[in-house]
Amino acid sequence: MAPTTVLLSDFSDFTDFVVNQGNGVKGLSEMGLKALPKQYIQPLEERFSEKKIVPHESIPIIDMSKWDDPEVAKSICDAAEMWGFFQAVNHRVPLQVLDRVKAATHRFFGLSAAEKNKYSKELSPSNNVRFGTSFNTQAEKALEWKDYLSLFYVSDDEASALWPPACKDEVLEYTKSSEVLIKQLLKVLMKGLKVEGTDEAKEALLMGSVRTNLNYYPICPNPELTVGVGRHSDVSTLTILLQDDIGGLYVRGNDGESWIHVPPISGSLVINIGDALQIMSNGKYRSVEHCVIANGSSNRISVPIFINPRPQDTIGPFPEVLASGEKPVYKQVLYKDYVKHFFRKAHDGKKTVDFAKLSIF
């Protein structure tokens, strides 16, 4: 047990084992630790409190089987305005596709640390393929109990050549199978803003870049002391999230204080509004703070698809939204600058969106 003692007490050894060697929190969890390493102990104000959970509250669950029904469209827009989140059922993404990408996620994280580490920041064949742990190990005062693989889509050829063989086919299939759902959601949401007709330029702005993450949250020795993912909102236009059956995703309630659990529903996809769409809608659609708790008894996975503007795009309120005389809340910002601002710091709730706010607010 001596190496374990050194690992937990010496910061350089800890960093080497978790980050540099690619063991991540999965490696720590599999050591059978009885206590959480101090590097993961969150300050009191960032720990998840069960006292703040609203037990009988739920984000909307929307049946997407009748896509052309005006009531379905109204439900989607209402959810985007009031909740920022909803669960989609009967969404037409084949259930076997969802099962395959979940199996592929377990397969990738079941690889040896040395194999996964081939995709780390220092060793990856591409900046578009990144295996890592926590969120930003350089900026965080306390680390998050999560490992991830991030896959930024450029082309089928690049994905085939550079994405990990353990999961590339399944992730591509999942991403492409979700396109029809994503386009339908954006069509409905744009109509709700009176932005008529999604031409190629508008479509590129809304969904010009796509990133899929495979997230792994291993069993944690003291889940009450840490977080799987800290409080944040996504920088995307939309996020499409596949959960497994473990649970652990919580969404901020409308009072700004409480938390609402998003229970796993077999075959469903969780949809949430990202900061980019909040900015483009001038705040009509809400990107909402959410977090993931750590689990003391089960390993959990999730697979989000982040639908984003392209890095070189400028985002700001749509002219159609301001046409009635509504005052802009947000300025025009270069999307890559917004994203850089998000990734250079630790998770901090909804503070990122302030980067795009006009100074009068």
The CATH superfamily of 24-31+39-356 is B-lactam Antibiotic, Isopenicillin N Synthase; Chain (2.60.120.330)
Local structure of 117: helix, strand or coil: helix
The 10s digit of each residue's pLDDT in 202-231 is 888 999 999 999 999 999 999 999 999 999
Q: pLDDT band at residue 6, thresholds of 50, 70 and 90?
A: very low
Phi, psi torsion values for 165, nearest 5 degrees: -55, -30
* Torsion angle defined by CA atoms of residues 116, 121, 123 and 126, in that order, rounded to the nearest 10 degrees: 100
Local structure of 345: helix, strand or coil: coil
Give Cα separations from 286 to 42, 84, 277, 293 (angstroms).
27, 5, 8, 22
Mean pLDDT rounded to a whole number for the chain: 91
Pairwise pLDDT comparison (47 vs 299), residue with the higher score:
299
Mean per-residue pLDDT for 291-301? 96
The 10s digit of each residue's pLDDT in 334-352 is 999 998 888 777 676 688 8
DSSP 1-67: -HHHHHHHH-HHHHHIIIIISS-HHHHHHTTT-SS--GGG---GGGS--GGGB-TT----EEE-S-T
- The pLDDT of residue 52 is 86
Q: Are strands 85-89 and 269-273 parallel, antiparallel or unpaired?
A: antiparallel
Local structure of 238: helix, strand or coil: strand
- Token pair 């509004």 in the structure block, residue: 273
The 10s digit of each residue's pLDDT in 118-163 is 999 899 999 999 999 976 666 677 899 999 999 999 999 999 999 9
**pLDDT > 90? residue 107:** yes
Rounded to 10°, the helix 168-177/179-192 angle is: 40
Rounded Cα distance, 272 and 291, in Å: 13
The 10s digit of each residue's pLDDT in 252-269 is 998 888 999 999 999 999
Mean per-residue pLDDT for 34-40? 90
Given a contact cutoff of 8 angstroms between Cβ atoms, the answer to whether 286 and 84 are in contact is yes
Lowest mean pLDDT among 59-68, 90-99, 334-343: 334-343
- The pLDDT of residue 217 is 97
Q: pLDDT band at residue 11, thresholds of 50, 70 and 90?
A: low
The 10s digit of each residue's pLDDT in 313-322 is 999 999 999 9
Given a contact cutoff of 8 angstroms between Cβ atoms, the answer to whether 142 and 267 are in contact is no
Which helix (H) or strand (E) segment is 271 a member of? strand 269-273
- The pLDDT of residue 135 is 66
Rounded Cα distance, 289 and 312, in Å: 26
Q: pLDDT band at residue 7, thresholds of 50, 70 and 90?
A: very low
Break the chain into its structural domains and give their ranges. 24-31+39-356
* Torsion angle defined by CA atoms of residues 352, 358, 360 and 361, in that order, rounded to the nearest 10 degrees: -40
Given a contact cutoff of 8 angstroms between Cβ atoms, the answer to whether 151 and 129 are in contact is yes
Q: Which percentage of the chain shows pLDDT scores above 70? A: 93
- The pLDDT of residue 139 is 64
Give the tokens for residue 124.
């990856």
Give the tokens for residue 59.
């984000």
The distance from CA 221 to its chain's CA centroid, rounded to whole angstroms, is 24
For residues 30-46, one letter each, b for 16 or more C-beta atoms within 10 angstroms of the residue's C-beta and e for the rest, the string is ebebeebbebbbbeeeb
- Token pair 């800890």 in the structure block, residue: 14
**pLDDT > 70? residue 10:** no
Local structure of 161: helix, strand or coil: helix
Rounded Cα distance, 23 and 14, in Å: 10
Given a contact cutoff of 8 angstroms between Cβ atoms, the answer to whether 295 and 246 are in contact is yes
Q: Are strands 85-89 and 61-63 parallel, antiparallel or unpaired?
A: parallel
